Amino acid sequence: MTATIALVDDDRNILTSVSIALQTEGFLTRVYSDGESALKALIENPPDLAVLDIKMPKMDGLELLRRLREKSAIPVIFLTSKDDELDEALGLAMGADDYIAKPFSQRLLIARIRAILRRTEAAQPSTDGGEQAPAEILERGRLTMDPARHRVTWGGTNVTLTVTEFLILETLAQRPGIVKTRNQLMDAAYQDDIYVDDRTIDSHIKRVRRKFRQVDPEFDAIETLYGAGYRFSDE
């Protein structure tokens, strides 16, 4: 099935050039020149992935993502200015799956889109009628993770995670009590030799904790081992 990519940017040159590049690679594209016009469309007719610029009039990318995350967990890649480290951190903390700084290589953007879509596809059940062993449901204390349905619950209450957040949490929960370094979490969540830095993993961890604390203010199952990494405790 052909994946649909939504592009949201007030720079029409970027919209045109990236759209053409994606279509050449076999993707379908939908383009929006501001956050306001994009929000309703992204919620009512979700694409497989959205690429959002941060700096836009009317509604910037951060506000668009915040409102989008109230309704949807579709994968999101942010386009940021080269020096907007604060915006990058905010975007990741709010639930973006990745970010790319402008000016950017279209080959890099396409590689990251493909990587995220592969992770998304891996989290979905098979629909081709073939024999595929169902992914095992992971239960750790109050945590239940169903990879086939991309479903997470804590004490029976649903917690909505992005694909990247799901993979990081799954990696930690698979071996409770074992410390996972940031590099190990990067390898689990970002394949194909895509580079991300420590701040990216830290931001995703903060976001996961925040989501669980919305359903359980006492949530403390993800522990930080300063200088070492993170571990999951199901006690």
Q: What is the pLDDT of residue 131?
A: 46
Mean pLDDT (the chain) is 83
Residues 6 or more apart whose CB falls under 8 angstroms from that of 165 comprise: 95, 204, 207, 208, 211
Percent above pLDDT 70 for the chain: 84
49-74 per-position pLDDT tens digit: 999 998 888 888 889 998 998 888 88
pLDDT for 119 equals 73
Q: 138 - beta bridge partners?
A: 145
**pLDDT for the residue numbered 93:** 67
Delimit the domains of the chain by residue range: 4-123, 138-232
Confidence of residue 30 (pLDDT cuts 50, 70, 90): very high
CA distance 197 to 36: 31
pLDDT score of 16 more than 90:
yes
pLDDT above 90 as % of the chain: 41
Distance (Å, rounded) from C-alpha 32 to C-alpha 227?
A: 43
Q: Which CATH code for domain 4-123?
A: 3.40.50.2300
> Confidence class of residue 192 from pLDDT cuts 50, 70 and 90?
low
Segment 100-128, tens digit of pLDDT: 878 788 888 888 888 788 777 765 555 45
Q: Are strands 4-8 and 28-32 parallel, antiparallel or unpaired?
A: parallel
Residue burial 17-46, b: 16+ Cβ < 10 Å; e: rest: ebbeebeeeebebbbbbbbeebbeebeeeb
CATH number 3.40.50.460 given to 138-232 = no
